Amino acid sequence: MSRYWRVYKLFWTSSLQRELEFRANFIAKIFQNLVWIVFFLTIVLVIYSNTDSVAGWNRGDAFVLAATVFLLGSASTAFFFSLMEIPEQVRRGTLDFVVTKPIDSQFWVSLRRFNFDQIGAIIAGLTMLVFGVVTSHHSVTLVGVVFFAVLFCAAVVLYNSFVTMLMTLGIWLVRVDNLWVLGETVQQIARYPIDMYRPGVKLLLTYYLPLAFIATIPASQLVREPDLRSVAIGVAWAIGLFIVARRYWRFAMVHYSSASS
């Protein structure tokens, strides 16, 4: 474990050096993230300019939900950005060098690059989250905060396990570069409260396609009564999908052919 920690610190160092080499690009990305935050806020404000509640979620609740989705996307892009490079690595043949290294290949392709320009977005997302909690007019408990933190971490694992399996398809679909768009689609769906759907669809998106655990259920721990059962189910989904993604990656590595073959 200590060896992997040392390797990960080297990943951070090299990622920082890379960002410092292209400072103008770094600043442009930060500005782009700020634009996205404004876009998120504008959507919420437009919706609630004509109504006080959507499926039982007031404007403050909606800010908490939007902030949860935004934080999920920012954290995933910051810590797991290198997942997006798998198809390109397959096409260029650089994945050959990864699988021959004396280190776990999934660890390498998942954490190789840290995206420092997302740090500002994460701070802004946390600010939006606090603002939403304050304006939601719900009393927040320590238990709710802890449950939110646990479910948010589970959501990150859940979402990035899905993205791992999605991008691993690039080993076979070499010419497809925009697999990541499907991951973005999941975030687009998750930004709306699951409560707005009919009971059958809500059941489907909660227990069979766990999109509710991406944002709605974590956010509800702050703006509703904390629910231990939801936390247990969310953690179970995260662990289960992580195991599936792990096994799928190993299956892909067994069937991976070198770019030169």
State the average pLDDT over residues 143-150. Answer: 94
Judge whether 72 and 155 are in contact, CB under 8 Å.
yes
pLDDT at residue 235 above 70?
A: yes
pLDDT at residue 260 above 80?
A: no
137: left (phi > 0), else alpha (psi -120 to 50), else beta? left
User: Minimum mean pLDDT among 48-52, 72-76, 81-85: which range?
Assistant: 48-52
pLDDT for 77 equals 87
pLDDT for 217 equals 93
pLDDT for 259 equals 58
Judge whether 110 and 104 are in contact, CB under 8 Å.
no
**Confidence at 102, pLDDT banded by 50, 70, 90:** confident
User: Minimum mean pLDDT among 59-63, 178-182, 242-246: which range?
Assistant: 178-182
Which of the pair, 15 or 216, is modelled with greater confidence?
216
**Confidence at 247, pLDDT banded by 50, 70, 90:** very high
